[in-house]
Amino acid sequence: MNIFKLFCEKVLFIFVMQMKFYEKYPQLKEKEFLAELLSKSVFATMALENQQVPMKKFRRLLNHF
């Protein structure tokens, strides 16, 4: 089978899946939503490891990016 054809099919599949993903979850394109999701995830992970840091500190750090 032609390797180039297989490659093109894979790229097309990934592109279509990405488009469907963003259609289903359009908020993932928003920087504010991703920052909130990231800060909550890091905060929760650190809390589970008994390394609590105030949420305000995370938000200040994220605002720099």
How confident is the model at residue 1, as a pLDDT? 58
Domain ranges in the chain are 3-63
SS in 3 state form for 3-62?
Answer: HHHHHHHHHHHHHHHHHHHHHHCHHHHCHHHHHHHHHHHHHHHHHHCCCCCCHHHHHHHH
Tokens, residue 18:
């990405």
Could you list the pLDDT tens digit for every one of the 65 residues in the chain?
Answer: 578 778 778 887 887 787 887 888 888 888 888 878 888 888 888 888 888 778 787 777 777 76
